Chains A and B, each alone.
With several copies, the nearest count.
Chain A
Amino acid sequence: MYQEIILDHYKHPQHRGLPDAFDAEVHHVNPTCGDEVTVRVKLADGTIADLGWDGEGCSISQASTSVMSGLVIGKQIDDAMALQDKFLALMQSRGNAELSEADEDELDDAIAFEGVSKYPARIKCALLGWMAMKSAVAEAGWGTSADNGTAKAGETV
């Protein structure tokens, strides 16, 4: 599972750093392993106009956040949320995801995390940045505020 992609993103994280202009900032912690991530987002015209992050933790959480940023910046918010759902489903697949080719294309580097889904203790690591992104978008005023992005699914794998 430690594919080059993950180690590569870990060593060379994308969009790391907190932009000065932002609509919302959230800070998420995975209490079981101490992984932390802070995410700032800026929304514009129904898209995620900008996103930057800072964090600390294992290669999975940091690399996953890096991959996520690359994928969602510039996307329509609805599309980003749909992608988040896909990634969540991938993480809950216990290593048996059945992905269409379109899914694979869309998930891109995030496919590298499929193997993580076999390790219950690490699914939360992989989801950390994605959940923070979802929360930040909600915080910034998108969609129903009821969906506050707590890592419900990750909590109960």
Chain B
Amino acid sequence: MAFDVETVRKDFPILSREVHGVPLVYLDSANSAQKPQVVIDAEADLYANHYANVARAVHTLGSEVTHAYEGARDKVAAFLNAPSRDEIIFTRNITEALNLLAYSLSNASTTIGADRFRIGPGDEIVVTEMEHHSNIVPWQLLAQRTGATFRWIPIDDEGRLVESAIDEVINERTKVVSFVYQSNALGTINPVRRIVERARAVGAISIVDAAQAAPHLPLDVQDLGADFVAFTGHKLYGPTGVGVLWGRYDLLAQLPPFLGGGEMIETVDMSGSTFAAPPHRFEAGTPMIAQAVALGTAVDYVTAIGMHEIREHEKALTAYALDGLQSIDGLRIIGPATPVDRGATISFTLPGIHPHDVAQLLDEEGIAVRAGHHCARPVCVRYGIPATTRASFGVYTTTDEIDALVRGVDKVKEMFTR
């Protein structure tokens, strides 16, 4: 299928909206992506025609909804090229996926037979300086619970990991390495295989935050080689309230449970309980049924367009936008300034103008961008700035919209210097 952005745009009802009397230019997809009509309809159709609770029911609706829910698991497994559907765990979002791991690891301390996952004083947990808060705080809290040490790989002036630090920070004391595939604040695409290999060499568990990779790059968990990979549905044109944790089955099979409750058990007795096999062990309570089903539809949607086509489209947009933005005098790109190993998310600053003001004035022109630390405050601290303005692109973004952005930023500059 030839990629045609105008055809794609028709699938997204919100793109025909106006804001302040002008057509919406939505450049905040890294924050959350808009939803195609098929995804919206998937949830609505399930509720209107096939709804009941999953797994437990023996009636027809229960059977239909369970097949829809488990069918979504099959779709996600195929999307990630997972060796087994049983390696796909539905979570609320990627934040929960990462916390699930952090808690299951500390639960290993009080779970018989989970010795290989135990973490304690002297052990080290490694992230990078460019992580989203959702990949920082769970590990800081894990360190607090276990007495382990929290460490990180620093970033350089261009927004890349300091290559020479990787082998030093990840060492024999390292038990966990959790890092972002594509940075939401900088756009940087990290050398996943390089880091995973180092983690494996020292015997550490490797976890990839693919929140910003899943919507933009072909993802193949077998190719990446990591132990765990997670992403979040709402950034992949799916609904809110659903995310995915993929993990190697042999690890999941040994990992202690996280949340306790219905569906994750094998048998419950007042004197003690035993737990189901993965993935159900990690899906306590009634799941986000309609949301998982609609995420399956979102996966179908991007797969039909083609992840390679999306990547090429966005690569072109990124090059175009980097050129356009860098033509503005004084504008500073925070993150890689060339299109190499970077994604379609561009942070920048303007001298003397707070990013909040930039974003708000762009909003007056119908242009939605984000301003702030993008839940990656350490990145701002690293570059000595309070915040950045960030434009991020998706499958529906056009070069016209980037032109509008560049014009808009020019106008903001003018207002502030007038």
Q: How distant is the Cα of A119 from the Cα of B416 in the complex, in angstroms? A: 21
Query: Which residues of A55-70 have CB atoms within 8 Å of chain B's CB atoms?
Result: 56-60
How many residues of chain A have a CB within 8 Å of chain B? 24
A119–B372 contact, CB under 8 A? no
Query: Would you give the 0/1 interface string for B353-385, flagging 1 where the beta carbon is closer than 8 Å to chain A?
Result: 011110011001000000111000000100000
In the bound complex, what is the Cα–Cα distance between A26 and B2 (angstroms)? 58
Q: Are B277 and A152 in contact (CB under 8 A)?
A: yes
Quick one: CB contact mask for B311-340 with A, threshold 8 Å, 1 for yes?
A: 000000000000000000000000000000
Contact of B386 among A1, A35, A60, A118 (CB under 8 A): A35
Q: Is the CB of A2 within 8 A of B373?
A: no
Complex contact A120–B386 (CB within 8 A): no
Q: Considering the chains assembled together, what is the distance between the CA atoms of A94 and B69 in angstroms?
A: 14
Q: Say yes or no for A100: interface residue by CB 8 A criterion.
A: no
Contact A120 B55 (CB under 8 A): yes
Chain B residues with Cβ below 8 Å from A33 are 354-356, 371-373, 386-387
Q: Would you give the shortest CB distance from A124 to chain B, in whole angstroms? A: 10
Instruction: Write out, one digit per residue, whether chain A residues 54-96 have a CB within 8 A of any chain B CB (1) or not (0).
Output: 0011111000000000000000000000000000000000100
Contact of A94 with B372 in the complex, beta carbons under 8 Å = no
A32 at the interface (CB under 8 A from B): yes
- Tell me, rounded to whole Å, the shortest Cβ–Cβ distance linking A122 to chain B: 6
Interface residues of A in 1-46 (CB under 8 A from B): 1-2, 7, 31-35
One of B63, B279, B280, B364 near A2 (C-beta < 8 A): B364
Report the minimal beta-carbon distance from B374 to chain A, rounded to whole angstroms: 11
A156–B55 CB distance below 8 A: no
> Is the C-beta of A99 less than 8 angstroms from some C-beta in chain B?
no
Whether A2 pairs with B415 at a CB distance below 8 angstroms is: yes
Within 8 A of B (CB), among A132-157: 152, 155-157
- Decide yes or no whether B266 CB sits under 8 A from chain A: yes
Interface string of B250-274 (1 = CB under 8 A from A): 0000000000000000110000000
Given contacts A120-B70, A156-B85, contact A34 B357 (CB under 8 A): no
Tell me which of A1, A118, A119 has the highest count of chain B C-beta atoms within 10 A of its own C-beta. A119
Q: Judging by beta carbons under 8 Å apart, are A122 and B360 in contact? A: yes
Q: B276 contacts the other chain (Cβ, under 8 Å)?
A: yes
Q: CB of A51 within 8 A of chain B?
A: no
Residues of the B chain whose Cβ atoms lie less than 8 Å from the Cβ of A56: 386
Residues of chain B in range 50-101 having any CB-CB distance to chain A below 8 Å: 55-58, 62-63, 66-67, 70, 85-86
A121 on the B face (CB < 8 A): yes
Please state if B280 and A58 are interface contacts (CB–CB under 8 Å): no
B contacts, CB < 8 Å to A: 55-58, 62-63, 66-67, 70, 85-86, 266-267, 276-277, 279-280, 354-357, 360-361, 364, 371-373, 380, 386-387, 415-416
List 9 A-B residue pairs with CB atoms under 8 Å apart, sorted by A's residue number: A2-B357, A2-B361, A2-B364, A33-B387, A35-B354, A57-B356, A94-B67, A118-B63, A152-B277
Q: List 18 additional contacts besides A32-B372, A120-B67, A120-B70; criterion CB under 8 Å.
A: A1-B364, A7-B416, A33-B373, A33-B387, A34-B373, A34-B386, A56-B386, A57-B356, A58-B356, A94-B67, A120-B55, A120-B63, A120-B66, A121-B58, A121-B356, A122-B356, A152-B277, A156-B85
